[in-house]
Amino acid sequence: MAHKNAFYAQSGGVSAVINASACGVLQTARKHSAEIGKVYAGRNGIVGALTEDLIDTSLESEAAIAALKHTAGAAFGSCRYKLKSLHENRAQYQRLIDVFRAHDIGFFFYNGGGDSQDTAHKVSQMSADLAYPIVCIGIPKTVDNDLPITDCSPGFGSTAKYVATAIREAAFDLAAMSATSTKVFALEVMGRHAGWATAACALAADREGSAPHILLLPEIVFDERRFLAKVEETLQRRGHCVIAVSEGIKGADGEFLAAGSKDAFGHAQLGGVAPVITGLIGAKLGCKCHWAVPDYLQRSGRHIASATDLEQAYAVGRAAVEFALAGSNAVMPAIRRLSDAPYRWDIIAAPLAEIANQEKFLPADFISADGFGITEAARRYLAPLILGEAYPPFKNGLPDYVTLQNVPVPKKLASSFAV
């Protein structure tokens, strides 16, 4: 294989450990400098490739690259931007080729969720159709855990640990207050269509009757009457009620309970269902409620990352480079579970064609019969993903995250490109 430069970029909503995947890519590429030249990072994902806004990662110190492993956010900027298909927008792909050719890029590493794997897949198709040879490897990341084939998606385990920790702590709070004050607490959890993170809240319930008492999963149609009956029963038995509610729950009419606007992909932008359901409880059952919407905090909470998740995030970054060097193309490193307890896993190559635009929902046998909880099978699946603590270094009482220099690569093309 000729000595080519590589392109790496981050896409979609960030996770607590996407920078650990970046670290895996960059450290592994540096070890293989005989085969890979410089790694150019796209500033703000694929947008950086289209606008020729590339970052020269070779100018970052070893220490700065190592610090990515413990740094929140997405160090090179991320994007919400979906490529159209080749026949819909040929110019976009021609532009990518122009940029890649100008910078002698022969490897394309794209780190993200379902939409991002679709981008990686389209770039690999373009490579064939437009006869520009480039090795395309997707790198999994999504706190929603909805990528197919892989046992889990890096980023999810840390969000799962965050929300399970948060709901346990809030439950201790509520239990203390409930005799004379608040009786219900609802935590709103991310996951537009798939209830993985909401389900993970149930890991906080380590004994009969402990919180959370009710999960509202997006896989189950919200039924006001059954829900209020369950809340009332819980209040009678426990004196208080802790609820984990997915941002994406819908009523029988198919509408989200949380009204919202739309993002660049045309997805509804959600948020605010927790006040809706606690408002309902307050009105119908007459008790005081509290609610929390952690929003970004649950996906960028690097301070409470899962060590297991962190290790996997690094591993898929490293494997992406190793797969590329071993001659694989149009694949994504996927995690394969070998055993539940102890959790053992390895990494296999999954074809991008089988991953792009697929969503993995909670299977029916992971959801309890009444729809408000999870089964033992779900617990076996989820439990190992939050194991281990991986605290970042702290400075002056706060997590000490690195900000890279992100020095731009001098442009070589005369033309610009509007995205």
Of the pair 73, 106, the CB lying nearest its own copies is at: 73
Of the pair 269, 416, the CB lying nearest its own copies is at: 269
Measured distance CA(163)–CA(274) in Å, rounded: 14
Least Å from the CB of residue 402 to its own copies? 10
Of the pair 38, 303, the CB lying nearest its own copies is at: 303
Least Å from the CB of residue 180 to its own copies? 4
* Tokens of residue 121, six digits: 């897949």
27, 322 Cβ separation under 8 angstroms: no
Q: Is 144 a catalytic residue?
A: yes
300, 72 Cβ separation under 8 angstroms: yes
Q: Choose the catalytic residue: 53, 118, 144, 309.
A: 144
How many Cβ atoms are within 10 Å of 239's Cβ, its own excluded?
A: 12
Helix (H, G, I), strand (E, B) or coil at 241: strand
141, 120 Cβ separation under 8 angstroms: no
Element (H, E) at 261: strand 261-262
Of the pair 6, 143, the CB lying nearest its own copies is at: 143
Measured distance CA(401)–CA(129) in Å, rounded: 42
Least Å from the CB of residue 301 to its own copies? 6
Measured distance CA(374)–CA(351) in Å, rounded: 31
Least Å from the CB of residue 5 to its own copies? 23
Q: Sort 111 into a burial class: Cβ within 10 Å, 0-12 / 13-18 / 19+.
A: buried
Cα dihedral 111, 117, 118, 124 in deg (nearest 10): 90
The residue behind tokens 């490529």 is: 83
Least Å from the CB of residue 112 to its own copies? 12
Cis peptide before 342 (omega within 30 of 0): yes
Q: What is the DSSP string of 342-367?
A: TTEEEEEEEEHHHHTT--PPPPGGGB
Least Å from the CB of residue 353 to its own copies? 26
Question: Which own/partner pairs from 58-63 qualify as long-range (CB within 8 Å, at least 24 positions apart)?
Answer: 59/405, 59/407, 60/26, 60/404, 60/405
Of the pair 397, 410, the CB lying nearest its own copies is at: 397
Least Å from the CB of residue 318 to its own copies? 22
Measured distance CA(179)–CA(418) in Å, rounded: 60
Of the pair 269, 357, the CB lying nearest its own copies is at: 269
What Å distances lie between residue 80 and 40, 156, 338, CA to CA? 20, 19, 34
Q: How many residues are there in the chain? A: 419
Residues classed as catalytic:
144
